[in-house]
Amino acid sequence: MNLLYESDTFAVTHLATDQAWDTPTTTGLNAEPANAVNTAHKPTLVRHGFEIVDKRSGKEVYLDGSWAELFQEKLQAWQRQSPTQEEVEDTLDSYAGLAQMPVTIH
């Protein structure tokens, strides 16, 4: 979990797994038959997402899948051309309308 942005009104966190798909090898010297069951290889779904907390409303939205990809593109654009804080806040405010989950302490 990486805190990407924090202000008086928003906090943005990137959540990612460190594990990748661990599938059996089907070619090469250590090849296993395609139908072999190997309990040492357990596939793990690799997902990442972004949590945007709207501190004004006390709600958060979690972006994953295609929403996360679109948000990642926005972050990459910001890395190429540094936005102003106002531009960042305006963008985050556009996502705040999606926020439905109240922020709770775990």
The pLDDT assigned to 98 comes to 83
The predicted-structure confidence for 68-105, as pLDDT tens digits, reads as follows 999 999 999 999 999 999 999 999 999 988 877 777 65
CA atoms within 13 A on the CB side of 91: 17
Residue 70: Cβ-neighbour burial (10 angstroms; 0-12, 13-18, 19+)? exposed
Which amino acid is present at 50?
A: F
The pLDDT assigned to 31 comes to 44
Residues 32 and 48: their CA atoms lie apart, in Å, by: 30
Mean pLDDT across 36-65: 77
Helical H runs in the chain?
A: 66-80, 85-96
Dihedral pair phi/psi, residue 63, rounded to 5°:
-100, 125
CA atoms within 13 A on the CB side of 50: 22
Judge contact between 89 and 10, C-beta under 8 A. yes
